[in-house]
Amino acid sequence: MATINASVTISSDIASYPVTISKTMTMTKSANPSVGLEETTGLRTKRFTDTTAAVIAEHDELTDDRAHKIYIRNASTSRSNFFYVAYHASAAAAGTAETIGKLYGGDWMLMPYDGNVNITVASSTATEVQFLEYMVFADGLVAAKG
């Protein structure tokens, strides 16, 4: 059986007392939480040269309403440019209601994803090449079409 573990450690002196959070999660199936996720879309890298939104996780590749997880990292080194990350087929642009947030150079995220809609991203700039790294850990892939 495959096992996928994710860990995050956060330490901060932002408050009047030090804060340390260290958590580990084993990614498991929604229908059977004692069974680990066994499928993935593979680690992918995409190069952006303009601000056109691109789908990075397609809902028709994944079984709906499952315990998928998506990892996204802005692999660019520039902190002045970012990616919009959105939860919808065409929502990755400034001011849209379904934009999740912005990933600046070096930022990353890991979030649950139910597979019901596409995840899209758009670069904030067309003047500098941006690189994005992403992967879906899947609780069920749909069989290839065609």
Taking only the tens place, the pLDDT of each residue in 79-136 is: 888 999 998 755 445 554 488 899 999 999 999 988 888 899 999 988 888 899 999 9
More confident residue, 31 or 70: 70
In a domain, residue 20? The reply is no
Percent of the chain past pLDDT 90, that is, above it, reads: 38
Range of the domain at 86: 39-138
Q: What is the CATH number of the domain that holds 81?
A: 2.60.120.10
Mean pLDDT of the region 4-19: 90
In a domain, residue 53? The reply is yes
Mean pLDDT of the region 65-91: 85
Residue 71, pLDDT score: 96
Percent of the chain past pLDDT 70, that is, above it, reads: 90
In a domain, residue 15? The reply is no
Tell me the per-residue pLDDT of 15-28, one tens digit each, with 9 for 90 and over. 888 899 999 999 98
pTM of the complete model: 0.85
In a domain, residue 87? The reply is yes
Residue 2, pLDDT score: 72
Bridge partner residues of 68 (DSSP): 113
In a domain, residue 88? The reply is yes
Q: Is 34 exposed, middle or buried (0-12, 13-18, 19+ CB in 10 A)?
A: exposed
Cβ within 8 Å of residue 70, ≥6 positions away: 57, 110, 111, 113, 119, 134, 135, 136, 137
| CA atoms of 30 and 4, how far apart (whole Å) | 14
In a domain, residue 11? The reply is no
In a domain, residue 113? The reply is yes
In a domain, residue 129? The reply is yes
Total of domains in the chain: 1
